[in-house]
């Protein structure tokens, strides 16, 4: 029996806090589905015909859609509700986290001195934060990933853990998805049955949500997560210790990893690159290539490049660029993954893309067929399917 309590379980919302969180989750769903559908009608029936009258053609880019729709009342209601719902996500968990923070910090501290799980936490207080992290509250999360206000602070990790559940609606009864890592690891095990990674690295691991599940498919693998944010890494490490997962967490900038060449069999990330400047993305990809063993594999989950979806969906996705403190979002999506990979030294033979269903929501037979290339892969749909790009490093 492990002596360290699960840091996730410390949060104990009051009746009113739970009610508020449920409301915010439902508000987000309402905004992203019902109000979004009404906005689409407004676009199809008013905004787009007016654009065609003026320009003699339909909008061709997300920016043209954005400019055309920006004064439409339904858009303004949707955008305002979406922005406010995003702020309410974090606010809805703030008080419960603040209440438990001293105990959380104490648990994380105990975990940082424990080696019962075979893992480790290595922090670098001198690490310089990249501008794209340091100069804004990404996702409108106050304090972003890295702010610290107490010795051994874990608040940002806790806010992300619990706010993330509100954001995804995980507290609502209808959850039928397993997430990126569960889906990617299952996909790898079907598509590449001979591939048995011994050392797995995640860049931008935050609190380990999409690192831990690799243990379910590859129980003997050693997990390593790097991130620039100490509060998130302390939180991730506390979770690992409580779960008995031998994961190593290290505070590093993924643009300049301190691992030796050819260290890992598998390098992964999720929801990561669109937050980086494109130049930083190229440096991280080059580092991934450097630390991968020959024959090793790299798999990144990301949003679809703008060339793969229509102008309206580009407008819809790129809303975050202006309104969610993700200023590199559009620039990242405007690049072809193949070009980014080439700039990092990967050859066309090594590179691949894939779209896979979420393993929790999909029929297992369909999931398997997609993995084996025997069924049509799903179209992009955040949380129901995952867009991947990656490479098998030449042996």
The residues that touch ligand SAM, with contacts defined as CB under 6 A, are 130, 133, 145, 203-206, 209-210, 226-229, 232, 253-255, 270-272, 275-276, 280
Minimum distance from residue 56 beta carbon to ligand SAM (Å): 41
* Choice between 96 and 326, CB closer to ligand SAM: 326
Non-local (6+) Cβ contacts of 212 within 8 A are 181, 223, 239, 240, 243, 245, 247
Minimum distance from residue 212 beta carbon to ligand SAM (Å): 10
Burial class from Cβ neighbours inside 10 Å (0-12, 13-18, 19+) for residue 352 reads: middle
Alpha helices (runs of H) in the chain, residue ranges in sequence order:
15-29, 36-42, 48-55, 62-69, 73-112, 131-134, 155-168, 180-191, 214-217, 230-243, 278-291, 311-323, 329-334, 337-343, 364-371
Alpha carbon of residue 327 to chain centroid: 16
* Choice between 101 and 127, CB closer to ligand SAM: 127
**CA 41 → CA 69, 78, 95, 343, distances in Å?**
12, 13, 39, 41
* Choice between 200 and 311, CB closer to ligand SAM: 200
* Choice between 74 and 210, CB closer to ligand SAM: 210
CB 69 within 8 A of CB 38: no
* Choice between 280 and 311, CB closer to ligand SAM: 280
Minimum distance from residue 370 beta carbon to ligand SAM (Å): 21
Collapsing DSSP states into helix, strand and coil, what is residue 174?
coil
119: tokens are 């893992």
121: tokens are 């936490």
Q: 133 in the Ramachandran plot: left (φ > 0), alpha (ψ -120 to 50) or beta? A: alpha
Q: Which of 165, 162, 150 is nearest to 230 (CA)?
A: 150
Minimum distance from residue 394 beta carbon to ligand SAM (Å): 26
Minimum distance from residue 107 beta carbon to ligand SAM (Å): 20
* Choice between 96 and 255, CB closer to ligand SAM: 255
* Choice between 355 and 369, CB closer to ligand SAM: 355
| DSSP, res 129 | P
Minimum distance from residue 111 beta carbon to ligand SAM (Å): 18
Minimum distance from residue 78 beta carbon to ligand SAM (Å): 23
* Choice between 165 and 306, CB closer to ligand SAM: 165
Minimum distance from residue 378 beta carbon to ligand SAM (Å): 19
CB-based closest residue to ligand SAM:
204
CB 162 within 8 A of CB 11: yes
CB 322 within 8 A of CB 315: no
């Amino acid at each position: 029996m492990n002596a360290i309590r699960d840091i996730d379980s410390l949060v104990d919302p009051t009746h009113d806090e739970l009610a508020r969180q449920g409301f915010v989750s439902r508000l987000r769903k309402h905004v992203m589905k019902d109000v979004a559908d009404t906005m689409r009608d407004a676009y199809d029936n008013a905004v787009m015909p007016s654009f065609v009258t003026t320009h003699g053609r339909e909008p061709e880019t997300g920016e043209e859609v954005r400019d055309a729709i920006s004064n439409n009342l339904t858009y303004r209601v949707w955008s305002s509700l979406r922005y406010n719902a995003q702020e309410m996500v974090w606010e809805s968990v703030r008080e419960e986290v603040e209440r438990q923070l001293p105990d959380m910090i104490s648990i994380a501290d105990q975990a940082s001195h424990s080696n019962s799980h075979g893992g480790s936490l290595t922090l670098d207080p001198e690490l310089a934060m990249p501008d794209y992290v340091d100069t804004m509250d990404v996702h409108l999360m106050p304090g972003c990933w890295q702010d610290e206000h107490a010795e051994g602070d874990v608040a940002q990790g806790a806010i992300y853990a619990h706010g993330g559940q509100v954001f995804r609606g995980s507290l609502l009864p209808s959850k039928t998805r397993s997430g990126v890592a569960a889906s990617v690891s299952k996909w790898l095990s079907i598509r590449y049955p001979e591939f048995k990674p011994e050392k797995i690295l995640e860049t931008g691991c935050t609190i380990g949500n999409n690192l831990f599940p690799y243990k379910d498919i590859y129980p003997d693998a050693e997990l390593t997560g790097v991130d620039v944010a100490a509060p998130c890494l302390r939180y991730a490490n506390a979770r690992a210790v409580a779960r008995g997962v031998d994961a190593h967490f290290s505070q590093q900038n993924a643009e300049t990893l301190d691992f030796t060449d050819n260290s890992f069999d598998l390098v992964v990330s999720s929801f990561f690159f669109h937050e980086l400047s494109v130049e930083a993305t190229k440096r991280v990809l080059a580092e991934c290539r450097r630390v991968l063993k020959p024959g090793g594999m790299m798999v990144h989950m990301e949003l679809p490049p703008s060339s793969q979806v229509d102008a309206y969906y580009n407008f819809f996705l790129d809303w975050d660029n202006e309104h969610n403190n993700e200023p590199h979002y559009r620039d990242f999506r405007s690049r072809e993954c193949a070009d980014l990979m080439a700039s990092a030294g990967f050859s066309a033979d090594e590179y691949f893309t894939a779209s896979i269903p979420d393993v929790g929501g999909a029929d297992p037979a369909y999931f398997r067929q997609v993995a084996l290339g025997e069924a049509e892969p799903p179209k992009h749909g955040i949380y129901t399917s995952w867009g991947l790009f990656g490479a098998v490093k030449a042996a």
